[in-house]
């Protein structure tokens, strides 16, 4: 480690990859190509002895890790550290990352490892091959966070935040933003704890003022830390949530709305359902008009419940949403959806809007019977949830007519409690079924 | 279907593969994944133990999997390896080694062995362009021969036509050869035929019983093949029991993929369909069979669907022909009997064989097919691979369509081609340079209560990704699997215990197996629970087999390391510890079984107990091995015709033999043995110790010989039986006397009608480790023998031409050249047996013309050296010309 500057020469990525995989003519990379080539090569210059030994050692470590032999892996790791003395500068530069990755994994699972060992290891690794300082700091902080050591984690992040080395690069920038955001999150934890304490205090109390002042300070620092990261495209659910909560607490509704709208609708961000849920939650808290809420919600049952409270013109949209929800395999047993669908169908048909139902049903009539209304499902639903079976039977009867297997099966069942319901169901089916047996 | 209320933070960056500037902070190692941020501020806990199941470990009962069924009766050939294709010499170590396909060695060998095949068609092709007078003469000239330099006419032609023919040859052959070799090499690097796996487990009515469905029958590229219906009964406490003989269906193509799914619907039997295929054996154990399951099978150009009904007899439903070749088939988890089929043309079809009535007679030929997607181009960037894959999603009308570059969600009801990318090979998933999708799978097919039904698995050669279809492009989990071969199969299993993480198995083609524990109940994001573990592979079982002689040992080793082409697993819930039953299918057609149990009491401090072989296991392995060694080796695809010139020697036999020296030399040459001093009439410098003459009771050499033949077990049994059977030794004596008598009785007649020996009979499969001199049949048979029929007449003519030149040698000035040049020519061709034989002929002639002049001592010694080298080569078993050609042209 004497020649510090040489270490900082950024290794070319191509060379790094060359160690493990080779590109073929199609541009595809095969990690196992090297193995094939080695079985053939007999003459010529071979890899250096030390390089061969280190790669063997690396594979021993990986094998031991996959067999959960932590003790053995640690012993191999002890030898592997020699790679830091490799005369090949490319190898030497790639080594710290591998050592950190494997070493932290071993220490995480090793039965005899302790917090102190991990801390020592992390601190050492941060300074060997400074390129990884930020990454290791961040992971170290997360490790501490998960062990409940919030203060230590915070200190770690603060140190990392102020670390500067070499040229500015976009990846470094993002990492520093991440570190700041995690720091902000830690501050948010303290803030929300204080908020809880505050809510238990009397407003006239002297302590209240100090506490609220304290909180304000905290929140100011926190928002600075959080707002930089959430501008960068990504999934930042925990950060956005806490940031918005703080903004709302201090009455900055516009700021919160802007953050959420940006998070949900910025095209550079991935389409994250949570972003819409957060925005919806915010608008609901804000008592925004229904139309706005409906537009935010993409597909959910809650949307339907809002629609339900509205007038007839929303019935069409409601039907659409309910049919859409019940298309999904994970929602087949959602009793709320079935209940609403049955209700809607009845109401829509009562209002003689048969076309609305037909429109939805046409694209589904060739697969819904097998998907929802098979004999198997009738039996299994009746066994598991009789109320669900009744709701489904009603829908099946309306959509498929009296002859439908599901309907017939449920109809035949003799149940004391549900007798009235089944009778009602039969009546409804007779009255509203879209299938006309006469035709 | 709740969405996780808070997703783990991750950076989202669009861009191409290998955008190195993206800090890949979110997925570094397995524990990092456990560190998703806590929902609420974490309570400072005293012990600081994170909520991670540290001791989650499936322990194998034995150190390796055991063979479940005896090996099939068909021989298995491991096929091409990198050694056969890659350039051997001149390897330079570089940071990025490059694979160079080898043609020099192989091609020269091929041309040497099959000159007629290599060159005769060229001659025939070119003949049409030769409209000269006397084209008939050219006809023979064009036939190249490895020994063309012997003929003036041919040499002249060679000089004349060399530049032209060499370029056209190089162009014609070169292109085709390169194409073929490159294709083979690509296939060796990445064989996607078995993606998805060809082994399936059909669960029975009882939890421990079921059927294994897999292709059987040795080499999987042979035409007749059938998926077997092997009934297996599993009990948590003991090894699986195999019940009865497997039924099988004979198919007309190799099976590449087998998919099954239990049908939870109406058990309407399709009795009106009669089986098209032959050999449908009825099953006899109806009580153990599954209620009803569908069985989809993909072959190279056909896909078929069966229904395994209540009586257990699979009823064929429909067959689909895929002209461009099928790459993937999957069965819908939602609608029974609905399938997706992908073709190399880039089309994805939805197939509903059960829709509507079938034609009353015969096999339905027009399946209800609907093309839902077609794009010959790849999704994200251009990749030459025609591999496509399709699977289902949580929405029964939405499919995933995948290729090497990404995975797309396609709505089958929407306008064609619409959809959005679910996974993109690029910076979004922080993919590396050169990373490609090798396997994709929908994971929401079983027990939706423990994991969301919206997850998809995407495997590349480096990593494994878990993607939620509600959050496209952002993988929720990424793990570097580090497999050293193509991932072939992945299987998500139900949780072994309620509340336990679900095991996810991943199998690499080289036999590696990995098990990941995936958790993510309710509204939490999926993550790895505990570190992934590797499971024993088939080659770990080598220690269970008895030690064998090297040849058989190598055969066993090769068999055990045959590529994995199928994986099936089932969890047996039992009162104490859940048991995982794991079946593997290898390309050699072997089914291996391994039992694992969940570590009952995870104590991290105690070292994991190591499994050991039970006597039952080793005896099972021994029995399996015995059957395996009885299977004959693969017969060679095509044996090279070998040219024997020995018979021609007879023509010179009539000449007057003068002196002891030529006689001794000739005998030594004829017998192919070491030339000794006494043969040349010289006084031996010292007395040679008498060579141990192997008598009929020589046990060691007999045993060694049997071992070379691979028949040592049979030899041992013979020994045990007390009767020493007819040994090899007396036989060889006899053969040798026969040979010498042949030589003495040979007349001076030169009959060239059958100058070539017959092709080696294919049943003579065991390669001769100690090659004997080509047996010369008695002179009576030297006429147009029955085995000369296989030789093309023009070939015979060529040989006649070329042999006709031979007697002239003695008269030419070159023939009477200085002995030193002759000597050097002998020395230069020491390794070429053929050439040596030619030289022998020349020597003979020279001796005659020189009028019995004794050989100069220098020449004698060089001849001896040549001969001894020759013999040494023979004894060491390396006979370059007899080597089996490995390229199956």
Query: B462-488: per-residue pLDDT in tens?
Result: 899 999 888 888 888 888 888 889 999
Q: Which residues pair with A275 in a beta bridge?
A: none
What is the interface size between A and B, counted as CB pairs within 8 Å?
282
Q: Do B6 and A241 touch (CB under 8 A)?
A: yes
pLDDT at B343: 93
pLDDT at B863: 41
A238–chain B nearest CA distance, Å:
6
With CA atoms as reference, report the closest residue to A305 among A263, A336, A259. A336
Angle between helices B660-671 and B728-745 (to 10 degrees): 130
CB B83 within 8 A of CB B228: no
Q: Which residues pair with B330 in a beta bridge?
A: B340
- The mean predicted confidence, pLDDT, of chain A is 80
How many other C-beta atoms lie within 10 A of the C-beta of residue B335?
A: 22
What three-state secondary structure class fits A368?
A: helix
Q: Do B11 and A233 touch (CB under 8 A)?
A: yes
The mean pLDDT of B557-570, rounded to a whole number, is: 91
Number of residues written out for chain B: 889
B587–chain A nearest CA distance, Å:
19
Q: Do A270 and B12 touch (CB under 8 A)?
A: yes
Predicted confidence (pLDDT) per residue in B688-731, tens digit: 555 555 555 677 888 888 877 777 778 887 777 754 444 444 44
Q: With 90 as the cut, is the pLDDT of residue B780 above it?
A: no
pLDDT at B537: 92
How many other C-beta atoms lie within 10 A of the C-beta of residue A107?
A: 23
Q: By the CB < 8 Å criterion, does A143 face chain B?
A: yes
Q: Do B82 and A40 touch (CB under 8 A)?
A: yes
Tokens (6 digits) for A158: 């603060």
- DSSP 8-state assignment for residue B393: -
Residue B881: band (very low, low, confident or very high) from pLDDT cuts 50, 70, 90: very low
With CA atoms as reference, report the closest residue to B625 among B550, B559, B705. B559
Predicted confidence (pLDDT) per residue in B723-750, tens digit: 444 444 444 444 444 444 434 444 334 3
Positive or negative, the CA dihedral B826, B829, B830, B833 is: negative
User: Which of the residue ranges A51-55, A335-339, B59-63, B418-422 would you say has the lowest mean pLDDT?
Assistant: A51-55
pLDDT at A291: 72
Q: Do B264 and A380 touch (CB under 8 A)?
A: yes
| Nearest beta carbon to residue B533 from set A66, A239, A376 | A66
Predicted confidence (pLDDT) per residue in B34-52, tens digit: 444 544 444 433 333 344 4
Q: Do B433 and A330 touch (CB under 8 A)?
A: no
Which single residue is written with the structure tokens 């957060």?
A: A278
pLDDT at A421: 78
CA dist A206 to A201, A210, A217, B689, B784, Å? 10, 7, 18, 117, 124
Q: By the CB < 8 Å criterion, does A216 face chain B?
A: no
Q: Which residues pair with B527 in a beta bridge?
A: B519
The full DSSP string for B257-325 is EEEEEE--S-----TTPPP-SS--PPPS-GGGS-S-EEEEEEESSEEEEEEE-TTS-EEEEEEEE-TT-
- DSSP 8-state assignment for residue B188: H
Residue A329: band (very low, low, confident or very high) from pLDDT cuts 50, 70, 90: confident
d(CA B4, CA A432) in angstroms, rounded, equals 39
Q: By the CB < 8 Å criterion, does A335 face chain B?
A: no
CB A330 within 8 A of CB A349: no
A274–chain B nearest CA distance, Å:
7
- The mean predicted confidence, pLDDT, of chain B is 68
Q: What is the β-pairing status of strands A29-30 and A234-235? A: unpaired
With CA atoms as reference, report the closest residue to B589 among B195, B231, B82, B227. B227
Q: Do A109 and B397 touch (CB under 8 A)?
A: no
A329–chain B nearest CA distance, Å:
5
Classify burial at B78, counting beta carbons within 10 Å of its beta carbon; exposed 0-12, middle 13-18, buried 19 or more. Answer: middle
d(CA B145, CA B155) in angstroms, rounded, equals 10
d(CA B382, CA B404) in angstroms, rounded, equals 9
Interface of A with B in 27-56 (CB under 8 A): 27-37, 39-47
Phi and psi torsions of B339, nearest 5°: -130, 160
d(CA B659, CA B68) in angstroms, rounded, equals 70
d(CA B692, CA B702) in angstroms, rounded, equals 14
Most confident listed range (B579-593, B679-693, B751-765): B579-593
Q: By the CB < 8 Å criterion, does A135 face chain B?
A: yes
Q: Which residues pair with B242 in a beta bridge?
A: B232
Looking at per-residue pLDDT, the higher value among B511 and B56 belongs to B511
**Nearest chain B alpha carbon to A13:** B20
Interface probe, candidates A23, A41, A88, A301, chain B, greatest B C-beta count within 10 A: A41
| Nearest beta carbon to residue B97 from set A34, A62, A185 | A34
pLDDT at B118: 67
What three-state secondary structure class fits B727?
A: coil
| Nearest beta carbon to residue B7 from set A104, A237, A374 | A237
CB B545 within 8 A of CB B556: yes
CB B754 within 8 A of CB B788: yes
Domain extents for chain B?
102-189, 196-267+289-324
| Nearest beta carbon to residue B335 from set A150, A241, A367 | A367
Q: By the CB < 8 Å criterion, does A273 face chain B?
A: yes
**Nearest chain B alpha carbon to A229:** B11
Looking at per-residue pLDDT, the higher value among B321 and B720 belongs to B321
How many C-alpha atoms does B489 have within 13 Å on its Cβ side? 32
d(CA B289, CA B202) in angstroms, rounded, equals 9
pLDDT at B874: 42
d(CA A293, CA A298) in angstroms, rounded, equals 10
Contacts of B44 in chain A (CB under 8 A): 148-150
With CA atoms as reference, report the closest residue to B211 among B270, B260, B268. B260
Predicted confidence (pLDDT) per residue in B815-870, tens digit: 333 344 343 443 443 344 444 344 334 434 444 433 344 444 444 444 444 444 44
pLDDT at B169: 67
Q: By the CB < 8 Å criterion, does A81 face chain B?
A: no
Q: Do A170 and B21 touch (CB under 8 A)?
A: yes
Q: Do A135 and B25 touch (CB under 8 A)?
A: yes
Predicted confidence (pLDDT) per residue in B631-641, tens digit: 877 666 555 55
d(CA B478, CA B286) in angstroms, rounded, equals 44
CB A410 within 8 A of CB A428: no
Give the distance between the most distant pair of CA atoms in chain A: 94
**Nearest chain B alpha carbon to A366:** B355
Interface probe, candidates A235, A281, A334, A379, chain B, greatest B C-beta count within 10 A: A235
| Nearest beta carbon to residue B444 from set A24, A135, A329 | A329
A252–chain B nearest CA distance, Å:
23
Residue B401: band (very low, low, confident or very high) from pLDDT cuts 50, 70, 90: very high
Q: By the CB < 8 Å criterion, does A75 face chain B?
A: no
B409-417 long-range Cβ contacts below 8 angstroms, 24+ apart:
B409/B469, B409/B472, B410/B348, B410/B372, B410/B373, B412/B350, B412/B370, B412/B372, B413/A363, B416/B372, B416/B373, B416/B374, B417/B373, B417/B374, B417/B375
Predicted confidence (pLDDT) per residue in B324-370, tens digit: 899 999 998 888 888 999 999 999 999 887 654 444 433 444 457 88
d(CA B754, CA B645) in angstroms, rounded, equals 10
d(CA B43, CA A161) in angstroms, rounded, equals 25
Residue B643: band (very low, low, confident or very high) from pLDDT cuts 50, 70, 90: low
CB A229 within 8 A of CB A238: no
d(CA B53, CA B500) in angstroms, rounded, equals 10
- DSSP 8-state assignment for residue A111: T
d(CA B141, CA A416) in angstroms, rounded, equals 102
Interface of A with B in 296-325 (CB under 8 A): none
CB B380 within 8 A of CB B405: yes
Residue B132: band (very low, low, confident or very high) from pLDDT cuts 50, 70, 90: low
Contacts of A233 in chain B (CB under 8 A): 11-13
pLDDT at B652: 52
Contacts of A17 in chain B (CB under 8 A): 432-434
| Nearest beta carbon to residue A273 from set B3, B18, B428 | B3
Residue A14: band (very low, low, confident or very high) from pLDDT cuts 50, 70, 90: very low
B508–chain A nearest CA distance, Å:
11
Domain extents for chain A?
312-432
What three-state secondary structure class fits B422?
A: strand
Q: With 70 as the cut, is the pLDDT of residue A239 above it?
A: yes
B612–chain A nearest CA distance, Å:
16
| Nearest beta carbon to residue B82 from set A36, A135, A148 | A36
Tokens (6 digits) for B319: 């067959």
Q: What is the β-pairing status of strands B255-262 and B293-299? A: antiparallel
Interface probe, candidates A10, A37, A72, A363, chain B, greatest B C-beta count within 10 A: A37
Q: By the CB < 8 Å criterion, does A62 face chain B?
A: yes
The full DSSP string for B745-795 is H--S----TT-BPPPPPTT--S--SSPPPPPPPPGGG-SS-GGGTTS-HHH
pTM over the 0.90 mark: no
Contacts of B482 in chain A (CB under 8 A): 62
């Amino acid at each position: 480690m004497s020649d510090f500057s040489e270490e900082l020469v950024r290794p070319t990525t191509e060379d790094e990859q060359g160690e493990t995989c080779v590109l073929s003519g199609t541009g595809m990379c095969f990690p196992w190509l090297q193995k094939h080539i080695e079985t053939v090569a007999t003459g010529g210059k071979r890899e250096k002895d030390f390089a061969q030994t280190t790669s063997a050692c690396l594979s021993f470590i990986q094998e031991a890790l996959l067999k959960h032999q932590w003790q053995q892996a640690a012993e191999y790791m002890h030898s592997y550290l020699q790679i830091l003395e490799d005369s090949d500068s490319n190898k030497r530069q790639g080594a710290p990352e591998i050592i950190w990755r494997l070493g932290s994994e071993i220490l995480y699972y090793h039965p005899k490892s302790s917090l102190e060992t991990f801390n020592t290891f992390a601190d050492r690794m941060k300074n060997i091959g400074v390129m990884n300082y930020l990454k290791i700091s961040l992971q170290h902080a997360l490790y501490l966070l998960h062990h409940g050591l919030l203060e230590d984690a915070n200190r770690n992040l603060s140190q990392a935040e102020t670390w500067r080395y070499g040229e500015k690069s976009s990846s470094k920038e993002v990492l520093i933003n991440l570190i700041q955001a995690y720091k902000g999150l830690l501050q948010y934890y303290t803030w929300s704890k204080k908020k809880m304490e505050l809510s238990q205090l009397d407003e006239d109390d002297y302590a209240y003022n100090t506490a609220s002042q304290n909180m304000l300070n905290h929140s100011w620092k926190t928002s600075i830390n959080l707002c930089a990261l959430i501008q960068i495209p990504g999934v930042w659910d925990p950060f956005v949530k806490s940031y918005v909560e703080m903004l709302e607490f201090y009455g900055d509704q516009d700021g919160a709305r802007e953050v959420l709208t940006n998070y949900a609708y910025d095209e550079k961000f991935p389409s994250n359902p949570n972003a819409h849920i957060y925005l919806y939650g915010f608008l609901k808290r804000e008592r925004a008009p229904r139309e706005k809420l409906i537009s935010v919600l993409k597909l959910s049952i809650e949307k339907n419940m809002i629609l339900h409270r509205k007038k007839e013109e929303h019935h069409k949209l409601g039907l659409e949403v309910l049919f859409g929800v019940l298309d999904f395999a994970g929602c087949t047993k959602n009793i709320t959806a079935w209940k609403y669908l049955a209700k809607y169908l009845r109401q829509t048909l009562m209002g003689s809007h048969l076309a609305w139902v037909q429109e939805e049903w046409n694209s589904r009539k060739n697969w819904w019977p097998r998907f929802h209304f098979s004999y198997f499902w009738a039996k299994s639903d009746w066994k598991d949830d009789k109320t669900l079976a009744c709701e489904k039977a009603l829908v099946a009867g309306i959509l498929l007519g009296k002859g439908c297997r599901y309907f017939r099966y449920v109809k035949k069942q003799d149940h004391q409690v549900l007798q009235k319901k089944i009778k009602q169901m039969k009546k409804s089916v007779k009255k509203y079924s879209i299938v006309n047996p006469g035709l | 279907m709740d969405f996780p209320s808070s997703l783990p933070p991750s950076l989202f960056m669009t861009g191409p593969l290998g955008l190195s500037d993206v800090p890949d902070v979110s997925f570094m190692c397995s524990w990092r994944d456990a560190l998703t941020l806590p929902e609420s501020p974490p309570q400072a806990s005293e012990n600081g133990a994170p909520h991670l199941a540290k001791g989650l470990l499936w322990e194998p009962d034995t150190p390796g999997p055991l063979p479940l069924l005896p090996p099939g009766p068909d021989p298995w050939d491991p096929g091409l390896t990198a050694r056969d294709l890659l350039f051997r010499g001149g390897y330079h170590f570089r940071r990025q080694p490059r694979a160079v396909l080898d043609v020099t060695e192989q091609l020269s060998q091929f041309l040497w062995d099959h000159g007629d095949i290599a060159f005769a068609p060229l001659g025939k092709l070119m003949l049409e362009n030769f409209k000269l007078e006397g084209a008939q003469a050219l006809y023979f000239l064009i036939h190249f021969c490895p020994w063309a330099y012997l003929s003036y006419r041919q040499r002249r032609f060679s000089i004349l036509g060399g530049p032209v023919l060499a370029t056209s040859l190089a162009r014609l052959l070169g292109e085709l050869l390169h194409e073929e070799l490159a294709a083979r090499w690509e296939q060796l690097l990445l064989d996607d035929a078995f993606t998805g796996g060809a082994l399936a487990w059909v669960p029975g009515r009882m939890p421990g019983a079921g059927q294994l469905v897999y292709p059987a029958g040795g080499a999987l590229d042979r035409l007749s093949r059938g998926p077997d219906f092997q009934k297996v009964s599993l009990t948590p406490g003991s090894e699986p029991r195999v019940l009865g003989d497997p039924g099988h269906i004979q198919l007309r193509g190799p099976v590449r993929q087998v998919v099954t799914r239990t049908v939870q619907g109406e058990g309407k039997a399709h009795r009106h369909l009669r089986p098209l295929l032959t050999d449908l054996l009825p099953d006899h154990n109806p009580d153990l069979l599954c209620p009803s399951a569908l069985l989809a099978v993909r072959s190279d150009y056909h896909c078929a669907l069966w229904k395994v009904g209540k009586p257990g007899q699979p009823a064929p439903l429909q067959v689909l022909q895929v002209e461009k070749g099928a790459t993937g088939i999957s069965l819908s988890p939602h609608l029974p009997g609905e399938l997706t089929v992908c073709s190399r043309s880039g089309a994805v079809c939805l197939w509903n064989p059960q829709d509507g009535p079938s034609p009353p007679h015969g096999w339905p030929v027009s399946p209800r097919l609907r093309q839902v997607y077609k794009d010959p181009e790849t999704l994200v960037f251009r990749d030459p691979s025609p591999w496509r894959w399709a699977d289902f999603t949580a929405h029964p009308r939405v499919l995933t369509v995948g290729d090497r570059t990404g995975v797309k969600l396609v709505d089958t009801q929407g306008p064609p081609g619409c959809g959005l990318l679910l996974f993109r090979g690029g910076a979004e998933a922080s993919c590396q340079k050169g990373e490609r999708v090798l396997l994709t799978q929908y994971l929401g097919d079983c027990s939706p209560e423990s994991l969301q039904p919206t997850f998809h698995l995407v495997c590349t050669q480096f990593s494994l990704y878990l993607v939620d279809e509600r959050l496209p492009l952002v993988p929720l989990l990424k793990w570097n699997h580090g497999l050293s071969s193509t991932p072939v199969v992945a299987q998500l299993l139900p949780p072994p215990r309620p509340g336990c993480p679900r095991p996810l198995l991943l199998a690499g083609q080289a036999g590696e197996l990995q098990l990941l524990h995936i958790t993510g109940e309710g509204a939490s994001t999926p993550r790895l629970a505990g570190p992934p573990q590797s499971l024993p592979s088939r080659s770990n079982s080598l220690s269970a087999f008895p030690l064998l002689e090297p040849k058989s040992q190598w055969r066993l080793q090769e068999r055990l390391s045959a590529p994995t082409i199928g994986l099936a697993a089932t969890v047996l819930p039992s009162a104490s510890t859940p048991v995982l039953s794991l079946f593997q299918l290898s390309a050699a057609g072997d089914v291996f079984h391994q039992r694992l149990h969940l570590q009952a009491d995870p104590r991290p401090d105690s070292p994991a107990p190591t499994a050991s072989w039970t006597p039952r296991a080793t005896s099972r392995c021994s029995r399996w091995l015995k059957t395996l060694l009885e299977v004959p080796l693969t017969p060679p695809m095509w044996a090279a015709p070998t040219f024997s010139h020995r018979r021609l020697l007879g023509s010179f036999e009539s000449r007057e033999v003068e002196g002891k020296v030529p006689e001794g030399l000739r005998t030594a040459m004829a017998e192919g043995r070491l030339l000794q001093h006494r043969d040349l009439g010289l006084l031996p410098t010292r007395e040679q110790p008498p060579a141990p003459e192997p008598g009929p009771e020589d046990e060691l050499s007999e045993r060694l010989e049997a071992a070379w033949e691979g028949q040592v077990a049979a030899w041992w049994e013979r020994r045990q039986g007390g009767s020493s059977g007819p040994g090899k030794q007396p036989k060889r004596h006899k053969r040798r006397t026969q040979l010498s008598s042949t030589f003495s009785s040979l007349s001076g007649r030169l009959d060239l009608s059958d100058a070539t020996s017959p092709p080696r009979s294919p049943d003579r499969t065991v390669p001769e480790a100690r090659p004997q001199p080509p047996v010369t049949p008695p002179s009576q048979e030297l006429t147009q023998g029955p085995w000369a029929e296989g030789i093309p007449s023009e070939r015979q003519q060529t040989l006649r031409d070329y042999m006709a030149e031979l007697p002239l040698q003695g008269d030419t000035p070159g023939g009477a050249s200085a002995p030193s040049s002759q000597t050097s020519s002998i020395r230069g061709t020491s390794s070429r047996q053929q050439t040596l034989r030619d030289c022998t002929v020349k020597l003979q002639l020279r001796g005659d013309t020189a009028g019995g002049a004794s050989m100069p001592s220098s020449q004698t010694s060089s001849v001896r050296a040549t001969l001894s080298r020759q013999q040494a080569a023979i004894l060491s078993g390396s006979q370059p010309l007899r080597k089996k050609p490995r390229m199956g042209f």
